[in-house]
């Protein structure tokens, strides 16, 4: 049974017992209703306490049931809640720990609520592209007011019970306790045993709250949740709670819930949710492989990446030794880290104490002997094979046995780096993204000889420092950057054919990318790619030139940092303004080649960009560089600003259909010699990536 029934004195205890998260699956819902009726029918029972286990009330709906007949099998959650609410004996919800989604809606059906002060209470459905579907949008505002409810439901973030209790006028919990929640609930149940009528949330009216707060939220959502449907839908439902009768509100909520549940966005967001969980598993690593202990970390190089990587570990409370090649570089690196923390303090995101605590965990050094005790050493020196080789040779000499040696290289061969050590099993890639203390993605690059427990450790460490880890095989660019190169090629091809940077960026941004390719390039700096191209031209004089991008850099248009790139920038502003210089540069390209610039529909621009990702993703999947299509989706969502509500490039390709993707790519490439990814051709016959 997934609900336990017991009796303490004259109070019946209904305890949810459906590990791991007390999901409200069908048998649990049945168990609650059966237990409730048993209590109501019994002459020995005066009141009911509904609870979970210590530290876990309920995480809500059982999302593995979504899309199966079980979701709609009776009793549905709304029926269970209605039964609690209609009970003629008092029902007290005793909440400890997580109380999310359907779990909170269930508690809102009780007559009284008691919670431990640290309980986390929230309606996170928007994260799956949904709104609460069992009365949450109508009951929560009746207890906490429209403004707080709108924030909780459209933002999805949980709040602590204590924090909620301290808000003016809130009445979500009748009691918030620091100690034993069951004792408090039993006490309240006994007090209320004879009190009638029983209070029902549905009978309360909504404090419309501060209308200005709600409308400010609408503006904030429009900015922060651009493209997402659920947050605005949630806000509208909360507003309705203040203006229409309860039952009507419930049916509006149901209608919205079903629309969203059957829509593409929720399917994509649920895919992203499951994809992130799937990415934590590596099929060929034996279950139970235990991670090595990581208490101390060393970072080699205190540049852009080394500094950010060190900050990530310091933020997680893990001591870091940073090694540089000169005192000057070390001082500069530490100064930048402190400056970055200081900016967080200035913005109120970090306390001055927090800053000092972090810096106190940091040990700067120039001496390799100081990293000999580190459990994990991450190299972030120059992107140059000779530099990497000499660093890893030194590390092999000094690092203690069992230490993990990682490189943050973005392009170099991990196996070649591992080969200079006498312990290639301890070596792997840990590829962070810039800025490393902010970006969520971590590509964990598994070398040919990387030991299973080393891989498992890197994944566990990634989780500990709040990163989304994805395992990648060794190749130039791994998963993300290898695909990005093709996306950039597609963007440049669009330019050559007549689109402008603004056309391309706005199409990409309207599709939902955080930033279009040219604005991104201006932010990152156009000189970086130019330096790489110049090196390649020198190595291979026959290599075709990237005429437009080279011409841009020859004019010194390196991007935002110099106020000019693919766009113009006014001093101190990030606003990208169309540039007459770039227009002239494009026009002269067409004159030189005798080409007639054509115009593009947004759809075609998006398809050219996204399908280029899909084609390369298919190769990466076929070669085993990515373990699953959904891992590629996670990489693009977590690291490249791909809209989460489209589920990632491979999921998106599935919604379009592989055959359509293939025929569009054939059309775009014409006779330029391109061959489709073999996997794409196979799936076009029959199949999907995910």
Give the binding-site size for ligand NAI (rule: CB under 6 A).
Answer: 25
Task: State the DSSP code for 365.
Answer: E
Could you tell me if 686 and 672 are in contact, meaning their C-beta atoms sit under 8 angstroms apart? no
> Which residue stretch of 177-185, 250-258, 324-332, 548-556 sits at the interface with ligand NAI (rule: CB under 6 A)?
324-332
Cβ proximity of 612 and 486 under 8 Å: yes
Report in angstroms how near the CB of residue 405 gets to ligand NAI at its nearest.
Answer: 14
Least Cβ distance, residue 423 to ligand NAI (angstroms): 19
Q: How far does CA 549 lie from the centroid of its chain?
A: 32
Burial class of residue 415 (count of CB atoms within 10 Å of its CB; 0-12, 13-18, 19+): middle
User: In the structure encoding, which two tokens stand for residue 116, read together?
Assistant: 């431990």
Contacts within 8 Å (CB) and 24+ apart, 599-605: 599/498, 599/499, 599/503, 600/494, 600/497, 600/498, 600/499, 600/503, 600/507, 602/506, 602/507, 602/510, 602/511, 605/494, 605/499, 605/503, 605/504, 605/507, 605/508
**Residue 641 interacts with ligand NAI (CB under 6 A)?**
no
302 near ligand NAI, rule: CB under 6 A: yes
Nearer to ligand NAI, 36 or 337 (CB): 337
Q: Which stretch binds ligand NAI (CB under 6 A): 157-165, 302-310, 351-359, 495-503?
A: 302-310
Shortest approach of ligand NAI to residue 554 CB, angstroms?
A: 23
Beta-carbon neighbour count of residue 334 at 10 Å? 18
Whichever of 36 and 381 has its CB closer to ligand NAI, that residue is 381
Q: Which is nearer to ligand NAI, 129 or 480 (CB)?
A: 480
Q: Does 42 bind ligand NAI (CB under 6 A)?
A: no
Q: Is residue 414 near ligand NAI by the rule CB under 6 A? A: no
Q: With respect to ligand NAI, which residue has the nearer C-beta, 391 or 495?
A: 391
Rounded Cα distance, 408 and 384, in Å: 12
- Among 4-12, 176-184, 290-298, 317-325, which window interacts with ligand NAI (CB under 6 A)? 317-325
The length of the chain in residues reads 690
Q: Label the pairing between strands 404-407 and 427-432.
A: parallel
Nearer to ligand NAI, 305 or 310 (CB): 305
CB of 300 to ligand NAI, least distance (A): 5
**Residue selected from 208, 227, 303, 498 as contacting ligand NAI according to rule CB under 6 A:** 303
Instruction: Name the minimum Å distance from CB 519 to ligand NAI.
Output: 16
Coil vs helix vs strand at 85:
helix
| 410 near ligand NAI, rule: CB under 6 A | yes
Q: Which of 434, 595, 663, 688 binds ligand NAI (CB under 6 A)?
A: 434
Nearest to 585 by CA among 493, 496, 487: 496
H/E segment holding residue 57 = strand 56-58
* 469 contacts ligand NAI (rule: CB under 6 A): no
Q: Which residues are part of the catalytic machinery?
A: 105, 125
CA distance 646 to 613: 14
Q: Does 324 bind ligand NAI (CB under 6 A)?
A: yes
Asked whether position 380 contacts ligand NAI by CB under 6 A, the answer is yes
Q: Which of 14, 300, 494, 495 binds ligand NAI (CB under 6 A)?
A: 300
Of 35 and 517, which has the nearer Cβ to ligand NAI?
A: 517
Residue 369 CB: number of other CB atoms within 10 A?
8
Please say which residue, 289 or 304, places its beta carbon nearer to ligand NAI. 304
Among 265, 266, 408, 526, binds ligand NAI (CB under 6 A): 408
In terms of Cα–Cα distance, which of 85, 90, 81, 8 is closest to 46? 90
Choice between 58 and 407, CB closer to ligand NAI? 407
Q: Which stretch binds ligand NAI (CB under 6 A): 7-15, 87-95, 297-305, 672-680?
A: 297-305
Piece in contact with ligand NAI (CB under 6 A), picked from 14-22, 139-147, 211-219, 403-411: 403-411
Q: Which is nearer to ligand NAI, 535 or 593 (CB)?
A: 535
For residue 590, give Cα distances in angstroms to 488, 501, 505, 593: 20, 15, 21, 5
Residue whose CB is nearest to ligand NAI in the complex, by number:
303
301 makes contact with ligand NAI (CB under 6 A)? yes
CB of 22 to ligand NAI, least distance (A): 40
127 binds ligand NAI (CB under 6 A): no
The piece of 304-312, 460-468, 490-498, 586-594 that touches ligand NAI (CB under 6 A) is 304-312
Task: Give whichever of 233 and 635 is closer to ligand NAI, judged by the CB atom.
Answer: 635
Q: Closest separation between CB of residue 429 and ligand NAI, Å?
A: 10
CB 58, CB 52: distance < 8 Å: yes
- Is residue 322 a contact point for ligand NAI (CB under 6 A)? no
Of 123-131, 181-189, 283-291, 322-330, which segment contacts ligand NAI by CB under 6 A? Answer: 322-330
Q: Quick check: 480 binds ligand NAI (CB under 6 A)?
A: no
Tell me the two tokens of residue 80: 């269970």
Q: Which residues contact 132 (CB under 8 A, 6 or more apart)?
A: 101, 102, 105, 123, 125, 140, 153, 234, 253, 257
326 vs 591 by CB, closer to ligand NAI: 326
One residue of 336, 387, 515, 562 binding ligand NAI per CB under 6 A: 387
What lies within 8 Å, CB to CB, of 301 at 6+ separation is 323, 324, 325, 333, 379, 380, 381, 382
| Residue 399 interacts with ligand NAI (CB under 6 A): yes or no | no
- Give residues with Cβ within 8 angstroms of 450, minimum separation 6: 414, 418, 424, 425, 427, 428
| Sign, Cα dihedral of 329, 332, 335, 336 | negative
Cα 152 from Cα 481, distance rounded (Å)? 36
Work out whether 418 is an interface residue with ligand NAI (CB under 6 A): no
Minimum separation from the CB atom of position 338 to ligand NAI (A)? 15
CB-based contact 101:131 (threshold 8 Å): no
**3 state DSSP class of 120:** strand
Q: Is 340 in the site for ligand NAI (CB under 6 A)?
A: no
Among 49, 59, 108, 323, indicate the residue that binds ligand NAI (CB under 6 A). 323
3-class DSSP assignment, residue 198: coil
Q: Which of 156, 164, 134, 131 is nearest to 236 (CA)?
A: 131
Contacts within 8 Å (CB) and 24+ apart, 137-140 = 137/234, 137/237, 137/238, 137/241, 137/249, 137/253, 138/202, 138/237, 138/240, 138/241, 138/246, 138/249, 138/250, 138/253, 139/105, 139/108, 139/109, 139/201, 139/202, 140/104, 140/108, 140/172, 140/238
DSSP state of 320: E
Residues in 554-613 at the binding interface with ligand NAI, rule: CB under 6 A: none
329 makes contact with ligand NAI (CB under 6 A): yes
**Smallest separation, CB 322 to ligand NAI (Å):** 9
For ligand NAI, the binding residues in 261-280 under the rule CB under 6 A are none
The Cα–Cα gap between 39 and 679 comes to 59
Only one of the segments 44-52, 114-122, 294-302, 343-351 lies at the binding site for ligand NAI (rule: CB under 6 A); that segment is: 294-302
**Looking at beta carbons only, is 362 or 679 nearer to ligand NAI?**
362
Q: Which residues bind ligand NAI (CB under 6 A)?
A: 300-306, 323-325, 329, 333, 380-383, 387, 391, 408-410, 431-434
């Amino acid at each position: 049974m997934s609900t336990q029934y017991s009796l303490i004195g004259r109070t019946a205890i209904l305890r949810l017992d459906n590990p791991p998260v007390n999901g409200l699956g069908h048998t649990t819902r049945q168990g609650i209703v059966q237990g409730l009726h048993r209590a109501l029918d019994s002459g020995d029972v005066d009141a009911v306490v509904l609870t979970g286990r210590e530290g876990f009330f309920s995480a809500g709906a059982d999302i593995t049931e979504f899309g199966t007949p079980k979701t709609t099998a009776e009793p549905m959650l709304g029926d269970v809640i209605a039964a609690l609410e209609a009970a003629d004996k008092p029902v007290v919800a005793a909440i400890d720990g997580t109380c999310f989604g359907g779990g909170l809606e269930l508690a809102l059906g009780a007559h009284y609520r008691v919670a431990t002060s640290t309980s986390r209470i929230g309606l996170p459905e928007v994260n799956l592209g949904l709104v609460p579907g069992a009365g949450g949008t109508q009951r929560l505002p009746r207890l906490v007011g429209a403004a707080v409810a709108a924030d909780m439901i459209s933002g999805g973030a949980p709040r602590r019970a204590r924090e909620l209790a301290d808000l003016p006028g809130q009445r979500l919990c009748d009691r918030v306790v620091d100690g034993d929640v069951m004792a408090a609930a039993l006490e309240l149940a006994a007090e209320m045993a004879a009190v009638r009528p029983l209070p029902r949330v549905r009978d309360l009216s909504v404090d419309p709250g501060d209308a200005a707060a709600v409308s400010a939220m609408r503006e904030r959502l429009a900015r922060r949740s651009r493209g997402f449907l659920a947050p605005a839908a949630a806000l509208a439902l909360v507003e309705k709670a203040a203006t229409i009768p309860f039952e009507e509100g419930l049916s509006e909520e149901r209608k919205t819930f079903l629309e969203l549940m059957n829509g593409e966005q929720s399917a994509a967001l649920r895919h992203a949710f499951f994809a992130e969980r799937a990415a934590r598993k590596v099929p060929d690593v034996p279950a139970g492989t235990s991670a090595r202990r990581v208490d101390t970390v060393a970072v080699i190089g205190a540049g852009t990446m080394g500094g950010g990587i060190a900050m990530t570990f310091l933020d997680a409370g893990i001591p870091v030794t940073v090694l540089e090649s000169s005192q000057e570089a070390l001082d500069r690196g530490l100064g930048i880290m402190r400056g970055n923390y200081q900016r967080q303090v200035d913005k109120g995101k970090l306390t001055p104490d927090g800053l000092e605590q972090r810096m106190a965990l940091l040990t700067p050094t120039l001496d390799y002997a100081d990293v000999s005790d580190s459990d994990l050493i991450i190299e972030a020196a120059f992107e140059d094979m000779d530099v990497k080789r000499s660093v890893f040779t030194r590390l092999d000499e000094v690092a203690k046995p069992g230490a993990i040696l990682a490189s943050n290289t973005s392009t170099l061969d991990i196996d070649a780096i591992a080969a200079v050590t006498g312990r290639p099993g301890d070596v792997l890639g840990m590829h962070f993204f810039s800025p490393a203390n902010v970006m969520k993605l971590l590509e964990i690059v598994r070398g040919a000889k990387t030991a299973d427990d080393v891989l498992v450790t890197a994944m566990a460490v990634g989780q500990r420092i709040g990163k989304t880890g994805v395992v990648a095989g060794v190749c130039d660019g791994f998963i993300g950057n290898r695909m990005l190169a093709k996306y950039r090629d597609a963007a440049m091809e669009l330019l050559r054919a007549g689109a402008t940077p603004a056309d391309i960026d706005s199409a990409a941004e309207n599709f939902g990318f955080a930033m279009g390719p040219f604005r991104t390039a201006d932010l990152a700096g156009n000189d970086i790619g130019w330096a790489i191209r110049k090196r390649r031209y020198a190595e291979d004089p026959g290599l075709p030139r990237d005429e437009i991008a080279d011409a841009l850099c020859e004019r010194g248009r390196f991007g935002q940092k110099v106020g000019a790139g693919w766009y113009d920038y006014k001093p101190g502003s990030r606003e990208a303004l169309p540039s007459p210089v770039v227009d002239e540069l494009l026009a002269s390209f067409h004159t030189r080649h005798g080409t007639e610039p054509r115009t593009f529909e947004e759809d075609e621009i998006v398809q050219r960009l996204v399908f280029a990702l899909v084609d390369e993703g298919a190769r990466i999947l076929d070669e085993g560089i990515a373990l699953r299509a959904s891992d590629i989706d996670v990489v693009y969502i977590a690291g490249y600003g791909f809209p989460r509500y489209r589920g990632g490039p491979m999921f998106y390709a599935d919604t379009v259909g592989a055959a359509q993707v293939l025929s569009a790519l054939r059309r775009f490439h014409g006779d330029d010699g391109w061959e489709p990814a073999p996997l794409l051709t196979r799936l076009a016959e029959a199949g999907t990536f995910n």
